[in-house]
Amino acid sequence: MKSGIFTILLLCCSNVFMTFAWYGNLKLKEMHISTDWPLFLVIVASWGIAFFEYCIAVPANVIGSRINGGPFTLMQLKIIQEAISLTVFTVIATTVFNNEALHWNHIVAFVCIIAAVFFAFLK
């Protein structure tokens, strides 16, 4: 049970880094910090952030995988990761990016994702 919770917490942390690696450059541009950056520099900066995501995500998958004695199958790990990824993205998008709003159709989509997690854990 502990390894399952620890895995989920690590995946949450790793997804914060990944969301900023993928979308942080857009916030910097919106704030007029990186408006003149060449694409190469944006990519290098994003990879620098993504490095820390990998440093957290890889141990999360090692700890959580049944292959290593953890509680989750590979399919379950991936579906958990996707659900966490979208949740973290939604929180960051609606709090950091002021022009993004959560609408009813997004909530319906999340209900579908939660259903996917439920079905992934059925025996």
Q: Is residue 50 scored above 90 in pLDDT?
A: yes
Span 32-47, pLDDT tens digits: 888 899 999 999 999 9
Query: Where does the pLDDT of residue 5 fall: very low under 50, low under 70, confident under 90, or very high at 90 and above?
Result: very high
For residues 62-89, average pLDDT: 93
pLDDT at 31: 86
Task: Find out whether 72 and 65 touch, Cβ atoms under 8 Å.
Answer: yes
Span 98-108, pLDDT tens digits: 777 889 998 89
Please give the model's pTM, rounded to 2 decimal places.
0.84
Span 52-72, pLDDT tens digits: 999 999 999 999 999 999 999
